[in-house]
Amino acid sequence: MHVRKIIRLSQYVSFVKLFMHKDLQKDFNSSNIVFKDSIEEAIKDSHISIVVGGDGTILRYSKLACQNNVPVLGINNGKLGFIAGIESNEIESVFMKLISKKYYIDSRMLISVDLGGGQEYCALNDVVLTKGSDSQVINYSILKNENNVCHYYADGIIVSTPTGSTAYSLSAGGPIVDSSLKCFVITPICAHSLTARPLILDTVQDIKIDYEIRKNSEISIIADGQKIFNSSKSGSVAVKRFDKDVNFIVFRNKNNYRNIDKKLIYKALY
Contact between residue 5 and residue 18 where contact means Cβ atoms under 8 Å apart: no
Cα separation of 82 and 261, whole Å?
11
Contact between residue 136 and residue 214 where contact means Cβ atoms under 8 Å apart: yes
In the chain, which ranges are continuous DSSP H helix? 2-10, 39-44, 55-67, 91-99, 168-171, 256-259, 268-269
> Which DSSP letter does residue 265 get?
I
Cα separation of 166 and 152, whole Å?
22
Give the number of other CB atoms < 10 A from CB of residue 101.
10
Known catalytic membership, residue 55 = yes
Contact between residue 129 and residue 219 where contact means Cβ atoms under 8 Å apart: yes
Containing 101, the helix (H) or strand (E) segment is none
Residues 6 or more apart whose Cβ sits within 8 Å of residue 254: 104, 106, 179, 180
Cα separation of 136 and 233, whole Å?
13
Q: Considering 23, 27, 45, 55, which one is annotated as catalytic?
A: 55
> Which DSSP letter does residue 242 get?
-
How far, CA to CA in Å, does 193 sit from each of 151, 154, 200, 214, 262? 10, 8, 19, 18, 34
Supply the residues annotated as catalytic.
Answer: 55
